[in-house]
Structure 1
Amino acid sequence: MSGDHVLVCDGVVRRFGGVVALKNVSVAVRRGEIFGLVGPNGSGKTTLVNAVTGFYPPQEGRITLDGTQINGLKPFRIASMGVARTFQNVALFHGMSVLDNILMGRHIFMKPNPLASLLYPWWAQKEEVAHRRHVEEVIDLLQLAPARDEHVDVIPLGLQKRVELARALCAEPRLLVLDEPMAGMNQEEKEYMVRFILDAQEALDLTVLIIEHHMDVVTALCDRVLVLNNGQEIAQGPAREAIADPRVVEAYIGKPRHAA
C-alpha cells in the first residue's frame, strides 16, 4: 500500500470458537481522514477495532500501521506506536479529577526513574512541566477548563466523553480510534462532540477511525466508511454513497414487504 495510508487491514479473520466474527475484512485508512465503521449491532465493528488495538489479534490476515505489521503485538506496544483509543462505555478513573484523568494520557511518554525523583527540581520538574503544558493545550482545545478540578464521577456523560477524548489526544496519536463517542448523548451533546472531533482533527492533523451508529453523525464527520454485517463487508466508500447502498438499508431495516 501507499505511504498515504496510516492503517491497512488486509484479509482480517477473527474467530471466537465456532463463531467467525470477521470474515476476510480489508480496509485502508488514509492519512488525515476520518474513516467510519458502520453496521448493525453484532456486525463486527468493535471486533475489528479490538484487532487493530491488539486486544483480539486476528487469526488470519495482516494489519499494518504506517507500513509496520502490528497484529501479534501487545496492546501497550501498539499504544506506544501511536494508537490511542476511547471506549463505548466510558473508561475513566473514578475518584480522580478531570485534570488527573487527562494527565494519564501522557503515561506512555513517562519514564520512571528513582534518581530523577530524588533530583526533582533539577531533573524531573522540567519534564513534568512539559507534560502539563501539552495537557493544558488539549484542555483549551476541548473547552474543559471550567471542569478541570471536578471529579469525573459527578460530571455529565457528555462531559465524561469529552474528558476521555482529551486523554486520548494527550497521547499524541498517529491514529485515534473512537468507539461510539456519541453513545448515550442527547442531540445537543452530539453536536458539541462532532465539533470538538473536527476541531481536534484539524488542529492536530489527526487520522481518525470511528465506530458510530448515528447516521447524521457519520455523514457530518466521515470522509469514507466501511459498512459491516455479520462480520463481512457489504459496502465501502464515501459516507453518503455507502450508507445509501441498498444492502446497507436492508441490513438496518430489513427487506421491504410486497403487498399481497
Structure 2
Amino acid sequence: MSASFASATALLECHGLERRFGGLVAVTGVDLRIDRGEIFGLVGPNGSGKTTLVNAITGFYPPQKGRILLDGADITGMKPYLVAKRRLARTFQNLALFNGMSVLDNIMLGRHVHLRPSVAKTALYWWLGQPEEIAHRRVCEEIIEFLQLQGVRDEPVESLPIGLKKRVELARALVAEPSFLILDEPMAGMNQEEKEYMARFVLDARDERGITVLLIEHHMDIVTGICDRIMALNYGEVIGTGLPREVVANPRVVEAYLGKGQQHAA
C-alpha cells in the first residue's frame, strides 16, 4: 500500500473491514478514521459488532477483508503483541485483572512492552537490572498519582469495588505509554459519580498526555459529553458517523436502540 494512502492527520484508518465467524457476519464494510487527539466514540446495541471491530484492529481476530492503518503503517493481520509495540493499548469489556496480586503489581504488568529482559541483567541485577526496574516503577507511581489510586496501591485488587477496578485497568493501559488507547466499556457497572470520575480521567489522558482515544460505551450521556465524533454500528454495519448530537438523532440509530414501535411512540 502506498504511503500516500494514509492521511497525514489520521492516527487510525480502517477501510472496508469484514470479519465473519462461519456463516455469521460480525462486521462488514466498515470504514473508520480517527484523527490524532480525538476522543472517538463507538456505539451500538449489544451484538452490533463493536468489540469484534476492536479485536480486528488489535489483531485478536484479523479481518478477512479490508485494511487497517495505524500511524500510517499497515497493521492488517499483525499479531497483538506487535500491535501493542506500536503504542496501542486497550482495556477489556470484562475485567482482566489478576486476583491475588496488589494494585501496584497489576499496574506494573502494563510495562511489559517496555521490558528488555536478559541473562546479564539478571546476573548483574544491582548494576543493570535494578536501575531499569526503578525507572519502570517511577512511571507506575506517576500514573497511580494521575488516577488518584495512592490510597489503594498496596491493596489486593480483588478487594476493590468495581469502579476502582476499572480505574486500575485504565492505569495498567496508561503505563504502557500509548499514543492510541482503546477503552471497551470502561464505565460498565459504575454509579453516576464513578462515571463522572472516569470521564474526567479520559479527558485528562487526552488533554494532558496527548493520547488519542477510541471509546466503546453504552452510556450515551457520557459519549455525547466527551466524544468529538462517534460511529454507530448495528448488525456489523455502520448506520451513522459524525458529531454526537447528529448521530444520536439519526432515525436509524434511534430505531436500532429503541425499535420501530418505540421510536414512533417516542
Report TM bin, short chain. Answer: over 0.9
Match for residue 223 of structure 1 among 228, 246, 253 = 228
The reply to whether residue 93 of structure 1 matches residue 72 of structure 2 is: no
- Matching residue of 2:36: 31
- Matching residue of 1:112: 117
> 1:107 aligns to what SS in structure 2?
helix
Match for residue 254 of structure 1 among 246, 253, 259 = 259
Contact 1:35 1:224 in 2 (8 A): yes
Deviations 1:78-99 (A, max 9, x none): 1111110101111001100000
- Runs ≥4 in structure 1, deviation > 2 angstroms? 256-259
**Structure 2 Cα separation of the partners of residues 209 and 16 of structure 1:** 24
Match for residue 233 of structure 1 among 221, 229, 238 = 238
**Structure 1 Cα separation of the partners of residues 215 and 41 of structure 2:** 5
Structure 1 residue 243 displacement after superposition = 1.1
**Structure 2 Cα separation of the partners of residues 3 and 158 of structure 1:** 37
Quote the RMSD (CA, aligned, Å): 1.1
Structure 1 residue 3 displacement after superposition = 1.7
- Matching residue of 2:3: none
Match for residue 189 of structure 2 among 176, 179, 184 = 184
Match for residue 128 of structure 1 among 105, 127, 133 = 133
Contact 1:8 1:27 in 2 (8 A): yes
> 1:112 aligns to what SS in structure 2?
coil
**Structure 2 Cα separation of the partners of residues 3 and 140 of structure 1:** 34
Structure 1 residue 31 displacement after superposition = 0.3
**For structure 2, which runs of at least 5 residues remain unmatched after alignment?**
1-5
- Matching residue of 1:193: 198
Match for 1:196: what amino acid? F
Match for residue 171 of structure 1 among 172, 176, 180 = 176
**Structure 2 Cα separation of the partners of residues 140 and 201 of structure 1:** 17
Normalization by structure 1: what TM-score?
0.97
- Matching residue of 2:76: 71
Deviations 1:151-199 (A, max 9, x none): 0010100000000000000001121000000111111111111111111
> 1:153 aligns to what SS in structure 2?
helix
Deviations 1:127-162 (A, max 9, x none): 111111111111110000000000001010000000
Match for 1:254: what amino acid? G
| Number of residue pairs matched by the alignment | 259
Match for residue 89 of structure 2 among 62, 84, 92 = 84
**Structure 2 Cα separation of the partners of residues 6 and 125 of structure 1:** 35
> 2:205 aligns to what SS in structure 1?
helix
Deviations 1:180-220 (A, max 9, x none): 00111111111111111111221110000111001001011
Match for 2:80: what amino acid? P
- Matching residue of 1:243: 248
**Structure 1 Cα separation of the partners of residues 148 and 261 of structure 2:** 46
**Structure 2 Cα separation of the partners of residues 19 and 172 of structure 1:** 36
Match for 2:150: what amino acid? A
**Structure 2 Cα separation of the partners of residues 206 and 200 of structure 1:** 6
**Structure 2 Cα separation of the partners of residues 101 and 226 of structure 1:** 32
> 1:111 aligns to what SS in structure 2?
coil
Match for 1:248: what amino acid? V
